[in-house]
Amino acid sequence: MRKPIIAGNWKMNNTIRESKALVTELLPLIKDANCDVVLCVPFTDIKSVVSLTKGSIIKVGAQNVHFAENGAYTGEISATMLKELKVNYCIIGHSERRQYFGETDETVNKKIAACLKYKIKPIVCIGETLQQRESNQTKDILKNQIIEGFKGYKSKDFEKIIIAYEPIWAIGTGKTATAQDANSTIKHIREVLKKYFGLSISQKTRIQYGGSMNAKNAFELMSMPEIDGGLIGGASLKAQDFSKVVNYDKK
């Protein structure tokens, strides 16, 4: 059985003060959750959120990492730095990083290695644009992202990797794939994993849905057999909303 994992992606939101207020309100609301819970927060919030969540079910993640351990990369953060801050997870290849900051399948591949070296679990994002979807390219786009992004990785690596399928056309737009469509697409992802990496990896790898999952649709989406969790954007910025997603099975 694949344990569900709900991860909040705060993106560029919440000062230290705001993060403390949100986490303080959230903690009692999700203490009995039956899934893994992760908060992927801005770099400036990591230390305070790690401190606040110590001893709770919440694990802390970063939203990006550089693949080098150190060097002349102004403004970047390394996996060694994240490890020292007690970060457990890291989002890699989010569509916004691909769109605005030049992230590629090649850099995704190298960042996965950096995280695994320091026992940080990568949440690797893949997904298609609206134009690609309407041109019936979804399956090919996802296949190529998987082949190139995970090139060279073995079964023991996939035990620590989470995949987040994020239809780019559904991020921050309020649009959401139907539960059936999301399930079908994630099933395709598993078929690609099976073909190129083996049956065991396809069956064991946890795959989240990352396209505007919220309190209203979480139960239906999480009821689908192929969907193992959610990468939550806007709904993770309010404790009440995020707690309802985390507690989707207590509806």
Q: How far apart are CA 219 and CA 179, in angstroms?
A: 10
Joined together, the tokens standing for residue 79 give 């996996």
Joined together, the tokens standing for residue 119 give 């026992």
* Bridge partners of residue 58, in order along the sequence: 37
Nearest Cα to Cα of residue 81 among 55, 53, 112, 115: 115
Q: How many domains does the chain have?
A: 1
Joined together, the tokens standing for residue 191 give 């078929």
Q: pLDDT for 112-144, tens place per residue?
A: 999 999 999 999 999 998 888 889 999 999 999
> What CATH number does residue 72 fall under?
3.20.20.70
For residue 100, how many C-alpha atoms fall within 13 Å in the half-sphere facing its CB? 4
Residue ranges of alpha helices (H) inside the chain are: 16-26, 46-53, 79-84, 95-101, 105-117, 130-134, 138-149, 155-158, 179-197, 199-204, 218-222, 239-246
Catalytic annotation, residues: 94, 166
pTM higher than the cut 0.85: yes
Q: Read off the DSSP letter of residue 189.
A: H
- Listed in sequence order, the residues at least 6 apart from 115 whose beta carbon sits closer than 8 Å to its beta carbon are 65, 79, 90, 92, 121, 122
Question: Where in the sequence is the domain holding 211, given as residue range(s)?
Answer: 5-250
How many CB atoms neighbour CB 17 within 10 A? 10
**Which segments of the chain have a pLDDT < 50?**
none
Joined together, the tokens standing for residue 35 give 């899934």
- In the prediction, which pLDDT does 133 show? 86
- In the prediction, which pLDDT does 172 show? 67
Joined together, the tokens standing for residue 246 give 């985390």
